[in-house]
Structure 1
């Protein structure tokens, strides 16, 4: 599909991470003259550079634009304020992300002569789960598909696969959308919007604008969250293809052109022959695992995208029944002395933590870490009725303590694992939480913060939590 003449084209790849290495190899194989730049210069980067044959690698300088560059392909983590991009703008050099590169390199399917359609999902929280649900539904419908993008298979690998996919379920981050100017998908959903990554985007307005890029040029459906008016506002602002429809989803009985719940059933009043008088039953809320409210909302968004693509109701039900979420997403890890322990380490911002807290009536909440510029007042106010106590950890614990003092002054707050990291820290945290919990309570690891001050990543944080709970049970 691309009109670019790749052989000999001088292309710079920004970043020697996973996406950068993948892009460099693809561009090299297309015949481009590839230079990878990275501001780091450690042993690990040098080892990666040595393995990247046929490519020029410049370490220790990520700011200088090599002379003659015609295109930059950037890794998602490089912020727009990077000096390299200022130099590119001054020189009139376009900047693409890996998603834009993949979009440009799509190949037509033999059966249709058109590339495989993309069903895309973004939002502050729930993206991965929703895209994986969508892929499960499409598989149940007999389509060859994959969850790709910011999850699962690399989007570049997917579009260049030897055996082509019928349709792709694509998770897109705000970073990726920022660098994807020509993306025009079949249908897309924005699940929710809450402050996150503001250090990268510079403002909430810029963050929301990048999320809204997913709707630009949509062909069939723009799916939005009825409980989050900001997502509908993005639909209203989007320039879409003629005939593209706005489709809402929510946890109430649906109106026309909406997906919702009726007596515990998932219902479609959008993609049915007579939506003014009829609806299609897509399954039960109990077909969703776990059936927490925010996860049912994810399922409705996935169902809306699948139905926009033409999947029948039975495949939606079968796909949801077959789906199981990844680790560290509201996962029960054990019950000890009548207390249930839940690992939602993936809740790395206040919006995600709020969804978890709303699912449990009496909770000892483990929270804290790196706040990433987030505020916690709204979270503390909403969580207050659900809290037995809070156990705070990490570098920015004081921000959460202050918010709880303002909005939940009667909730006991204990700080734990000061100056500790890894398994030692989490063992103490679980011990303290267990001492505060009573039979029937939930001890919930939903930190509302990033993990890197105490743990390698959110996965290690969740794994160590589960290990500490298992040890507590013994």
Structure 2
């Protein structure tokens, strides 16, 4: 009998332990934190015969498999398993192996930024086509739980961590949105990070790639018949944009002579270049599954964007205030900064070693001012001094709960009617907030306070 060690009592780890125990396997969970949530999960699993060992993260003697939920190869527990010759797999890989006969096909998507939005767009399109579909993986329900349910198709968001530990996935179709430096501390190099993303293509029935992204294009190059998507007019075998239409020249009877209109730019919310790319990726995956064109438009119209992704908070004094707190790396911030013509930029936090020089250089012509906060704000200030020396910069050193109010007040003083005050930090938030949602909510509260004071002064 397989003896599986499960790494951690997070949502995915708990789901893995339950799934294996229900199959009669011997399961031991190792967990470093003995908190209230972890103790409750351990008590629930104990009823299924699962042992939880708190404290020291040691590989149990006799374990024949380790299931990790995103831990890096250099983590001591993972390293010990690899050294001992114990098989290491991820939750997604395990879910693929546990699929029942005639299981729902997977439409898989990865990328540095935009994954969650594109997968949720895809799910909305699949639902509009009448399929019983669910978004899973790096978003929503753990895949190991979803595969046991009778869905028609699964829209699977995959991170580089999950793909690193996946060896046999064979999705019906797979797409890469974009590839830019991220998580290099986990993977060790940009080459290793890109290679992990590329694993999504290895056994895919249809390979879909962003033809405007050099790294995604390179990763798709070895696969004959790969389908590209582009913000330009599509070539044969691509999806793209013609005037205000999303057009398919790949999944049609005659890609040389024929094209099919799928949707309009007006069907995409919020309308920004990177979100058009998200919609095209979702449409390509759906079309690979046989979804008709009219369902693409209907699904995009039905899609409700997640919070903290180019979300308009309010307009105050003719200035729009936009919350893009989800932009936790330079690549994500670049997409947001390219979406508005005149910007007061709110940025800063934990850069995690990321270089912001290229981001600032490209955004400089659009910047009317910048307000910086967080641990690594000095690095952004230095990049602004090099590439946008005439842009006024306000440094907010405060790290307390009132810091964001000072940020918004400073941004309002820099902005003129027609400008956009854009919170797109290009950095993680844990130096000041529990996560990017809390940062975005603090920004929204500060904007609402600004509006109340402005209205009270009239």
- How does 1:218-297 map onto structure 2 within 5 Å? 218-219=204-205, 221-237=206-222, 245-297=225-277
- Which residue of structure 2 lines up, in the alignment, with residue 59 of structure 1? 54
Instruction: Please state if 1:75 is matched with 2:61.
Output: no
Instruction: Please state if 1:471 is matched with 2:445.
Output: no
- 2:305 pairs with one of 322, 325, 332: 325
Q: How many residues align?
A: 450
Deviations 1:438-463 (A, max 9, x none): 11100000000010110110011111
Per the alignment, do residues 43 and 263 of structure 1 end up closer, same or farther by CA in structure 2, a change over 3 Å counting?
closer
Tell me how far apart the structure 2 counterparts of residues 105 and 22 of structure 1 sit (CA, whole Å): 13
- Which residue of structure 2 lines up, in the alignment, with residue 121 of structure 1? 109
- Which residue of structure 2 lines up, in the alignment, with residue 299 of structure 1? 279
Cα RMSD between the aligned structures? 1.3
CA apart distance, 1:41: 4.0
Tell me how far apart the structure 2 counterparts of residues 43 and 343 of structure 1 sit (CA, whole Å): 33
Instruction: Please state if 1:421 is matched with 2:400.
Output: yes
CA apart distance, 1:91: 2.1
- Which residue of structure 2 lines up, in the alignment, with residue 202 of structure 1? 188
- Which residue of structure 2 lines up, in the alignment, with residue 5 of structure 1? none
Tell me how far apart the structure 1 counterparts of residues 420 and 40 of structure 2 sit (CA, whole Å): 45
- How does 1:335-414 map onto structure 2 within 5 Å? 335-414=315-394
Tell me how far apart the structure 2 counterparts of residues 265 and 84 of structure 1 sit (CA, whole Å): 51
- Which residue of structure 2 lines up, in the alignment, with residue 31 of structure 1? 24
Gap runs ≥5 in structure 2: 453-458
Tell me how far apart the structure 2 counterparts of residues 256 and 273 of structure 1 sit (CA, whole Å): 12
Tell me, what secondary structure is at the counterpart of 1:400?
helix
Deviations 1:310-358 (A, max 9, x none): 1111011111111121101101010000000000010110000000000
Question: Does the 8 Å CA contact 1:421/1:455 hold for their aligned counterparts?
Answer: no
Tell me, what secondary structure is at the counterpart of 1:261?
strand
Deviations 1:30-60 (A, max 9, x none): 1111111123345553444334312211222
Deviations 1:243-291 (A, max 9, x none): x631111111000001111111000000111110110000101111111
CA apart distance, 1:407: 1.1
- Which residue of structure 2 lines up, in the alignment, with residue 462 of structure 1? 440
Question: Does the 8 Å CA contact 2:11/2:142 hold for their aligned counterparts?
Answer: no
Tell me how far apart the structure 2 counterparts of residues 309 and 116 of structure 1 sit (CA, whole Å): 12
Tell me how far apart the structure 2 counterparts of residues 411 and 346 of structure 1 sit (CA, whole Å): 24
- How does 1:104-183 map onto structure 2 within 5 Å? 104-108=97-101, 114-161=102-149, 164-183=150-169
Question: Does the 8 Å CA contact 1:40/1:61 hold for their aligned counterparts?
Answer: no
Tell me, what secondary structure is at the counterpart of 1:86?
helix
Tell me how far apart the structure 2 counterparts of residues 431 and 79 of structure 1 sit (CA, whole Å): 41
Tell me, what secondary structure is at the counterpart of 1:147?
strand
- 1:448 pairs with one of 426, 440, 444: 426
Gap runs ≥5 in structure 1: 1-7, 109-113, 239-243
Question: Does the 8 Å CA contact 1:225/1:249 hold for their aligned counterparts?
Answer: yes
Tell me, what secondary structure is at the counterpart of 2:28?
strand
Question: Does the 8 Å CA contact 1:365/1:445 hold for their aligned counterparts?
Answer: yes
Instruction: Please state if 1:9 is matched with 2:8.
Output: no
Tell me how far apart the structure 2 counterparts of residues 66 and 455 of structure 1 sit (CA, whole Å): 36
- 1:439 pairs with one of 417, 425, 433: 417
- 2:87 pairs with one of 87, 94, 108: 94
Q: Normalization by structure 2: what TM-score?
A: 0.96
Tell me how far apart the structure 2 counterparts of residues 259 and 421 of structure 1 sit (CA, whole Å): 47
Question: Does the 8 Å CA contact 1:358/1:383 hold for their aligned counterparts?
Answer: yes
Q: Normalization by structure 1: what TM-score?
A: 0.93
Tell me, what secondary structure is at the counterpart of 2:221?
helix
Bigger shift: residues 223-232 or 330-339 = 223-232
Tell me how far apart the structure 2 counterparts of residues 118 and 370 of structure 1 sit (CA, whole Å): 34
Tell me how far apart the structure 2 counterparts of residues 453 and 222 of structure 1 sit (CA, whole Å): 39
Tell me, what secondary structure is at the counterpart of 1:151?
coil
CA apart distance, 1:368: 0.6
Tell me how far apart the structure 2 counterparts of residues 160 and 185 of structure 1 sit (CA, whole Å): 17
